[in-house]
Amino acid sequence: MTNRNKNLQFIYIMAIGVVLMLSSSRAFATNDENHIQEIMAGVNGNSKIQFIVIKQEGGGNFWGPQPGETQSRVMLVFFDATGRETGKFKFPHNVPFDANAQLIATHCTSARTRS
C-alpha cells in the first residue's frame, strides 16, 4: 500500500468518524417519573414477606422490552446486608399507563394477604 493510499484511507476513516459523531441522537430516560411510594421488608419476623409500591407520575411506563428489544428496560436488583447481589427481577411487559401505583411483592406477601 502506498503512502497516498494510506492517507486516503485515514481521511475516509476520519470522515466517517466525524459523520457518526455528528449524527448521534439523544437518549431520553423517564426514570425520574417513577417514585417509590411504599416499601415493606418483613412482618412478624418473616423477612420473606416483602413488597414495594412504585408510583409513576408521567409517561415512564415502558418497563418491559419494546418492539425489537430482547431485554426489559426496568429491573429491580436485590442485595443482602453485605452489599452482595442476591437477585434480579426484569419486568416482562409494560405496566398500565394509568394513575394506579404498581405493587411488586414476593410470593410470601401474596400468600399472607389472601389468608
For 47-79, the pLDDT digits (tens) are 888 888 888 777 667 888 888 888 888 888 888
Integer angstrom CA distances of residue 103 from 32, 89, 115: 18, 13, 18
Q: Is the pLDDT of residue 39 over 80?
A: yes
Maximal CA-CA distance, the chain: 82
Q: Is the pLDDT of residue 31 over 70?
A: no
Please count the other Cβ atoms lying within 10 Å of the Cβ belonging to residue 64: 16
Most confident of 18-22, 48-52, 110-114: 48-52
82-107 burial by CB neighbour count: b if 16+ within 10 A, else e? Answer: eeeeeeeeebeeebeeeeeebeebbe
What pTM was computed for the model? 0.58
